Amino acid sequence: MGEFELIQRCFAEAGRKRTDVAIGIGDDGAVVQVRDGCDLVITTDSMVEGIHFFPDVDPRSLGHKLVAVNVSDLAAMGAEPCWLSLALTLPKVDEDWLVAFAEGLSETADYYNCQLIGGDTTRGPLSLTMIAKGLVPKGKAITRAGAQNGDYLYVTGTLGDAALGLQLVQNKVEISKKHRAHILQRFHYPTARVALGQALRNIASSAMDVSDGLAGDLPHILRRSKVGAVVDVSKLPMSQALKDSCSAEQALQYALSGGEDYELLFTVPENRRGSLEVLLSPYGVPVTCIGRITGAVGKLEFKQGELPFIYQHQGFEHF
Ligand SMILES: [Mg+2]
């Protein structure tokens, strides 16, 4: 089998077969039927070897993660994931690697009810770029720009696990057997909060997903919404695995600045706060109030209970 056929075969059936795909892989372009009354939401995420993942990473988890991080951006907009495209740059065609990567991609696309509808392959240093497209009822996309003074600030799930996972795969920390699986799962197989994101359409005034760490990402909402925020670090939700695996100070550091948790960070106006817990309880994902939006434009303050908390963020900047 030639390289071209091999690649074609690996990705031909990736993901769920959707009835709204008129023309999928194999033509010059894909054709999809966009539902009436919906807006199309489009997002792109790239992963580059040596920057986003290590050369020895399990290709199956890489396929999973590429889909999950793209779908997470759709979730943050309140959109329903639908279609994926893939631009793949490979140094060589390694059949085992490709099959495992395609399987990880396919099972995760299937899980989120997405179909791979096209792509391109070129030769070069290993790099993966995905474009994810989703649908949201007209005018209902949740943006980063709607937070208002007085809104409550929430986050889903727990923070900091993926940052600890990154340390673990680099052999920089030791973790007890009991917690290893959970931490590695959170790092290699992140979950996009898709159902919850859609449930937030009529509740949240703004939202985003936490990919670069809370302290690095929250300022994006503050800038776009022209507001400030105060975060109580004693409220940050952390897993038992994280708390048991490092000092309280270190755990807090991971929760504040560690990337790749892919939880949702969102704001809720006071008058919708009462319905929040009831509406979100069926999703089985904990949501935690960690602070409030203020009128101090662009100012992000931290406190620890009633005490001020001094925190100097050193985030990761690509450029
Ligand atoms: Mg994002």
Tens of pLDDT, residue by residue over 180-191, are 999 999 999 999
Same-domain pairing of 294 and 161: yes
Of the three residues 137, 160, 175, the one that is the final residue of a domain is 137
Say if 100 falls within a structural domain: yes
239 touches 282 (CB < 8 A): no
Task: Confirm whether 204 is domain-assigned.
Answer: yes
Q: How confident is the model at residue 275 (pLDDT cuts 50, 70, 90)?
A: confident
Residue 136, phi-psi category: left (phi > 0), alpha (psi -120 to 50), beta (remainder): beta
Judge if 96 and 209 occupy the same domain.
no
pLDDT value at residue 294: 98
- Residue 193: φ, ψ to 5°: -85, 65
Same domain, 199 and 227: yes
**Ligand 1 centroid to 27 CA: how many Å?**
30
Ligand 1: centre distance to CA 129 (Å)? 15
Examine residue 52 and state whether it is found in any structural domain, yes or no. yes
**Segment 93-123, tens digit of pLDDT:** 999 999 999 999 999 999 999 999 999 999 9
Centre of ligand 1 from the C-alpha of residue 25, in Å: 27
Could you tell me which of 290, 149, 150, 283 has the C-alpha nearest to residue 217? 290
Over the range 202-232, which residues count as b (16 or more CB within 10 Å of their CB) and which as e? ebbbbbbbbbbbbbbbbbebbeebebbbbbb
Domain membership of residue 146 (yes or no) is no
Residue predicted with more confidence, 312 or 193 = 193
Tell me, in angstroms, the distance from the centre of ligand 1 to residue 173's CA. Answer: 28
Q: How far is the CA of 125 from the centre of ligand 1 (A)?
A: 25
Centre of ligand 1 from the C-alpha of residue 75, in Å: 9
The model's confidence at residue 1, banded by pLDDT at 50, 70 and 90, is low
DSSP 34: P
If you measure from the C-alpha of residue 69 to the centroid of ligand 1, how many angstroms do you get, rounded to a whole number? 8
Rounding to the nearest 10 degrees, give the CA dihedral for residues 268, 272, 276, 278: 180
Residue 160 sits in the same domain as residue 89: no
- Distance, CA 211 to ligand 1 centroid (Å)? 6
Kind and range of the H or E run holding 8? helix 3-11
Bridge-based pairing state of the strands 228-232 and 300-304: parallel
> 176 CA distance to ligand 1 centroid (A)?
31
Please state, rounded to an integer, the average pLDDT across all residues of the chain: 94
Which pLDDT belongs to residue 78? 98
- Looking at the structure, tell me whether residues 181 and 92 fall in a common domain: no
Q: What distance in angstroms lies between residue 315's CA and the mean position of ligand 1's atoms?
A: 15
Exposure on the CB side of residue 291, measured as CA atoms within 13 A: 24
Domain final residue pick, 137, 172, 205: 137
Distance 77 CA to ligand 1 centre (A): 9
Question: What are the pLDDT digits (tens) for 236-262?
Answer: 999 999 999 999 999 999 999 999 999
In the reported structure, the alpha carbon of residue 70 is separated from the centroid of ligand 1 by a whole-number distance in angstroms of 8
State which of 104, 137, 170 marks the end of a domain: 137
Residue 73 CA to ligand 1 centre (angstroms):
5
- The reply to whether 22 falls in a domain is yes
Residue 30: pLDDT over 90? yes
Is 187 found in the same domain as 103?
no
The reply to whether 112 and 194 lie within a common domain is no
In a domain, 29, yes or no: yes
Q: How far is the CA of 93 from the centre of ligand 1 (A)?
A: 31
> Same domain, yes or no, for 105 and 161?
no
Same domain, residue pair 23 and 81: yes
Residue 319 lies in a domain: no
- CA 43–ligand 1 middle distance (angstroms): 9
Reported as a single tens digit per residue, the pLDDT across 276-303 is 888 898 998 999 999 999 999 999 999 9
Based on the fold, state whether residues 271 and 172 are members of the same structural domain: yes
Residue 56's domain comprises: 3-137
Q: What is the CATH number of the domain that holds 79?
A: 3.30.1330.10
Q: What is the mean pLDDT of residues 263-280?
A: 92
In angstroms, what is the span from residue 91 Cα to ligand 1's centroid? 28
Q: Is the residue at 317 inside a domain?
A: no
pLDDT per residue as tens digits for the range 66-79: 999 999 999 999 99
Q: Distance from the CA of 115 to the center of ligand 1, in angstroms?
A: 21
CA 64 to ligand 1 center in whole angstroms: 17
Quote the number of domains for the chain: 2
Same structural domain, 211 and 68: no
Query: 72: CA distance to ligand 1 center in Å?
Result: 7
- Band (pLDDT 50/70/90 cuts) for residue 227 is very high
Backbone angles phi, psi at 82, to 5 degrees: -130, -55
Query: Do 62 and 124 reside in the same domain of the chain?
Result: yes
For the domain that residue 237 is a member of, what is the CATH number?
Answer: 3.90.650.10
**pLDDT number for residue 316:** 58
92 CA distance to ligand 1 middle (Å) = 30
